[in-house]
Chains A and B, each alone.
Chain A
Amino acid sequence: MDRPRTIASNAAGLSKADYGGSPSTLCRGCGHNSIASQIIQVAFELSLRPHEVLKLSGIGCSSKSPAYFLGMSHGFNALHGRMPAVATGALAANRRMRAIGVSGDGDTGSIGLGQFKHLLRRNTRMVYVIENNGVYGLTKGQFSATADEGLDLKYAGHNDLPPIDLCQEAIAAGCGFVARSFAGDAKQVREILKAAFSHRGTAVIDIISPCVAFNNEDDSPKSYAYGRHHEKPLHELGYIPFADEIVITESDPGELTTVDLHDGSRLKLRRVEEDHDPTNRIAAMTRLMEAERKQEFITGLLYYNQSRPSHAEAARLPETPLALLPEEALRPPPEALERTLQRYR
């Protein structure tokens, strides 16, 4: 199968353990922990150099998790809903950094919805993971904006409001990489994460990550039991780093769609149940809306478009990160001051 070879050290000369973080303080069985594990695995498999990775988060259960992976990478645990602004500033200052942000449904879908959408408009190059469980865990179980309409929970009662579908929001905002997965599907999470790291701009991955404490009643659409029965994989993904010879053994090669990623690597998609074209924005929206109507999760890469330049590209940022420019590049000489002041004499 497409499982990467497990080796003691990767191309960066690091072992998987080198990508670990502090022990998790989240609940046992929390989907977020599984996602953190996949991030560790993917960073190892991609041979990311930890010092070139920047971890970002907002506030909430999800946002604690960057402490639990990539302990050798710089990180910034920002404010509730404000990770996008911090990411934008940090990556404007240092465009070389590979960034991964972890947010939650409250962080992204409620308090931070505005920043989320503007981040996508700017197309700041980062992987944006939403650990979506439909509840506010840290404050003991209120509905979030992604909670399903009509849902009944012990603490929060009945939810009258329609959910915000963060994948639809992402596509509407101009995001060029929109995927959805399920925390229990480690393989798919890994594959999407790998592809996301190759994307030119912001790559959004909405991962349904059930809250074991507050939103895991079997009839809740964001519970494990519900997810396992209702999840409909849209594609099977395999990620092949361009320089690597690993070949996916596909059961039905005739169904393969190959997506060329910005960095020259390739993402291969397999149509499982429908002829979904991930480069068709309207089709992606339609598919999401249909799924929403049927209360299904459509997982996989839903929309992909690498045509928009990243923020760093559009802003024509210099190759040398702004943060590393020497004083000579930052402070014009005395003659320049004199010349400018002539206008005001």
Chain B
Amino acid sequence: MTTPPAIARDVTNDFSLVVATANGTGSQTANLALLRACFHMGIPVCGKNIFPSNIQGLPTWYHIRVSKDGYVARRTSEVLVAFNQATVDADLRELPSGGVAVVDAGLAHGVERDDIHVYAIPVKALMAASEHKGKLRDYLANMTYVGVLAHLLEIPLDAIEAGLDAQFGGKRRLVDTNLAVVRGAHAWAVEELTKTDPFRVAPMDATRDLLIMSGNEAGALGSVFGGVSVAAWYPITPSTSFIDALRDYLPELRQGEDGVPTYTVIQAEDELAAIGMVIGAGFAGARALTATSGPGISLMAEFAGLGSFAEVPGVIWDVQRVGPSTGLPTRTSQGDLAFAYGLGHGDGKHVVLLPSSIEECFEFGWRSFDLAEQLQTPVFVLTDLDLGMNNWMGRSFTYPDQPMQRGKVLDADEVRERGFARYRDVDGDGVTYRTLPGNDAPGAAYFARGTGHNAQAVYSERSDDWVENTERLARKFDTARRLVPPALDERVEGASVGLIAFGTTRYAIEEARDALAADGLHCSSMRVRALPIGEEVRAFIEAHERVVVIEMNRDAQLAAILRAELPDLAPRIESVAYLDGMPFTAGFMRERIEPFLTPRSLEVA
């Protein structure tokens, strides 16, 4: 046993906790109960599961950050729960000085540190009294650290109970079984442990109107309210839980008359088929989506090109993981941006939405269908593993503020009145009119195709037809610029440096920016929420001497896109691009941003 250092001043609601276990040991329930207990206490929290690509046995770490200031980025954990023999030495060594280690007393380790607080839990002895056997007993053993942490961190047991209740959907027997172990361990800790560390939580009132949910759940729910009718998919981490959530919500929310579903979910034979089904359904007039990740996007390339050239709506969620190739299947990334944007051979780009929060996952969930149908094209929604699979706080979702935008679809009467040519640009916005199969007006039918075609959708190899068509498609893409969610501009008066980012890097950036501002270093920031970019991005860059494009990939993909699309501004565009599979920390962000904030940019009004 090490000698605990002297008690520092209290650290309340401002630390990070990491639980180190092995995959498949059932610790997720315990971790989520802790997360929800803090949320229930009104304390801002965020949970991040750092897990292996494995079903059972490999190390996994669950991070819970509690932050009175509402910061949710990953940060170094001061409190460790060491329950994995395989990683206990490394876990203990990585703990910062002054940190806390709650260790399963049954683990052998060789780390002697006198600068941390160590509490050993006799897990085996605490479980000896349990009537449960086998696997259930192993699962329940995780509740011992919940009980001990409840004591050490001062989490009331009724908050833990509320957390378990939410976790088990109110199934009383399960709650009680788990709670009994929590109480036992808690009672032991009260009796046997003397708290020497400063970390604690205290009730706040900062989560009253908030939700806690994963991005995949939020996106799926948004899609349900967007009227998704056909979902075709192939299982792949980290998007699978998107479809799981969809299949959870749909039976309750989308039953038609006599209980007949108003949707169908098809598990396809691969991602090629999944996107093919989406394109087929979109052509026939249904709102269709697929959810996948990088390797699936690779397989979808040919269909994405067909979808944009035959002009068929559809929604593709890419919950990004680390590529290339199989890469790091359970680690987060923003590495598919450039690929998704230009997916397919030949000319052309796609509309890409870039949510950063569960609120935006919900909103883009329904809005993506409006955009896809208004623009008659596949729309990509790029989230990442961190947002998709982890639990995030967010404001309660806003119900769609506009009726469904079904785009330019002519019914039979309209075809009879005004005639129809599938690819004729009647309105000058590049978006043409379409008809759906089943339309019985003479002349309503057309033959959709990926081959060259004229305004009547008839096969054509004529150069003038090709040019006319592809120039119209470029015009349509300019229409998209005006329809997609605009970039959000957070201008700081007088700042000469602006940051540009997208997606989940915002959390580390916002925290780093606050810390820099506290030290008198200011910068503006802009968060891009969609491609193609709108005029606001140009305006932002023009207003700053330098902009730093921050992204979680090696190749500076957004920076390259901005430089290509705004060549006159390219010299101002700098880049911070980095990818190691882990979400950025505020510390890392500060370190990388600070060098750009030279004294020039200090001259703030």
| A residues with CB within 8 A of B | 22, 49-52, 54-55, 66-67, 71-79, 82, 84-94, 96-97, 114-115, 118, 122, 315-319, 321-325, 327, 329-332, 334, 336-337, 340-341, 343-345
Contact B448 A332 (CB under 8 A): no
Contact of B438 among A86, A88, A324, A325 (CB under 8 A): A324
- Residues in B whose Cβ lies below 8 Å from that of A91: 280, 284
Query: Which of chain B's residues 273-300 have a Cβ closer than 8 Å to chain A?
Result: 273-288
Contact A93 B284 (CB under 8 A): yes
Given contacts A118-B273, A341-B211, 9 further A-B contacts (CB under 8 A): A51-B437, A55-B447, A75-B445, A82-B303, A89-B284, A93-B286, A94-B438, A317-B264, A322-B264
Contact A74 B279 (CB under 8 A): no
- Residues in A whose Cβ lies below 8 Å from that of B221: 337, 340
- Residues in B whose Cβ lies below 8 Å from that of A345: 210-212
Cα distance A331–B281 when bound, in Å?
18
Task: Indicate whether B385 reaches chain A with its CB closer than 8 angstroms.
Answer: no
Output the least CB separation between B490 and chain A (Å): 27
- Residues in B whose Cβ lies below 8 Å from that of A55: 447
Interface size for chain B: under 10, 10 to 19, 20 to 34, or 35 or more residues?
35 or more
User: Lowest 5 A-B CB distances belong to which pairs?
Assistant: A85-B276, A89-B280, A330-B227, A323-B285, A89-B277
Task: Indicate whether B356 reaches chain A with its CB closer than 8 angstroms.
Answer: no
Task: Indicate whether B199 reaches chain A with its CB closer than 8 angstroms.
Answer: no
Task: Indicate whether B468 reaches chain A with its CB closer than 8 angstroms.
Answer: no
Looking at B286, B396, B442, which has the most chain A CB atoms within 10 Å of its CB? Answer: B286
A-B contact pairs, 21 of them (CB 8 A): A51-B444, A54-B284, A54-B437, A76-B280, A85-B273, A85-B277, A86-B277, A90-B284, A90-B437, A92-B264, A93-B283, A94-B285, A94-B436, A115-B269, A315-B266, A321-B286, A322-B281, A323-B284, A327-B227, A330-B229, A330-B262
- Residues in A whose Cβ lies below 8 Å from that of B263: 322
Contact of B273 among A115, A315, A341 (CB under 8 A): A115
Task: Indicate whether B55 reaches chain A with its CB closer than 8 angstroms.
Answer: no
Q: Which residue of B has the minimal Cβ distance to A329?
A: B262
- Residues in B whose Cβ lies below 8 Å from that of A85: 232, 268, 272-277, 279-280
Q: Which residue of B has the minimal Cβ distance to A323?
A: B285
Output the least CB separation between B258 and chain A (Å): 9
Cα distance A54–B366 when bound, in Å?
29
- Residues in A whose Cβ lies below 8 Å from that of B262: 318, 322, 325, 329-330
Given contacts A75-B448, A331-B400, contact A89 B276 (CB under 8 A): yes
Contact A74 B303 (CB under 8 A): no
Cα distance A71–B281 when bound, in Å?
21
Given contacts A72-B442, A86-B283, A329-B262, contact A344 B212 (CB under 8 A): yes
Cα distance A10–B287 when bound, in Å?
36
Output the least CB separation between A80 and chain B (Å): 8
Contact A97 B284 (CB under 8 A): yes
Write the B240-263 contact mask toward A (1 if CB under 8 angstroms, else 0): 000000000100111011001111
Cα distance A72–B229 when bound, in Å?
27
- Residues in B whose Cβ lies below 8 Å from that of A72: 442, 445
Query: Which of chain B's residues 193-227 have a Cβ closer than 8 Å to chain A?
Result: 210-213, 217, 221, 224-227
Cα distance A266–B278 when bound, in Å?
35
Q: Which residue of B has the minimal Cβ distance to A83?
A: B276
Contact of A93 among B213, B288, B448 (CB under 8 A): B288
Q: Which residue of B has the minimal Cβ distance to A59?
A: B450
Contact of B280 among A22, A49, A73, A93 (CB under 8 A): A93
Cα distance A322–B404 when bound, in Å?
15
Contact A77 B450 (CB under 8 A): yes
Looking at A82, A89, A318, which has the most chain B CB atoms within 10 Å of its CB? Answer: A89
- Residues in A whose Cβ lies below 8 Å from that of B288: 89, 93
Contact B230 A318 (CB under 8 A): no
Contact B459 A73 (CB under 8 A): no
Query: Which of chain B's residues 430-461 have a Cβ closer than 8 Å to chain A?
Result: 435-440, 442, 444-451, 458-459
Task: Indicate whether B270 reaches chain A with its CB closer than 8 angstroms.
Answer: yes
Contact of A76 among B252, B269, B287, B449 (CB under 8 A): B449
Cα distance A84–B272 when bound, in Å?
11
Contact of A51 among B280, B282, B366, B440 (CB under 8 A): B440
Given contacts A51-B445, A90-B280, A118-B269, contact A78 B437 (CB under 8 A): no
Task: Indicate whether B548 reaches chain A with its CB closer than 8 angstroms.
Answer: no
Contact of B404 among A93, A94, A331 (CB under 8 A): A331
Given contacts A82-B303, A90-B284, contact A332 B225 (CB under 8 A): yes
Given contacts A52-B438, A85-B280, contact A340 B404 (CB under 8 A): no
Given contacts A89-B232, A323-B229, contact A337 B437 (CB under 8 A): no
Cα distance A90–B266 when bound, in Å?
13
Q: Which residue of B has the minimal Cβ distance to A342?
A: B211
Task: Indicate whether B429 reaches chain A with its CB closer than 8 angstroms.
Answer: no
Task: Indicate whether B306 reaches chain A with its CB closer than 8 angstroms.
Answer: yes
Output the least CB separation between A154 and chain B (Å): 28
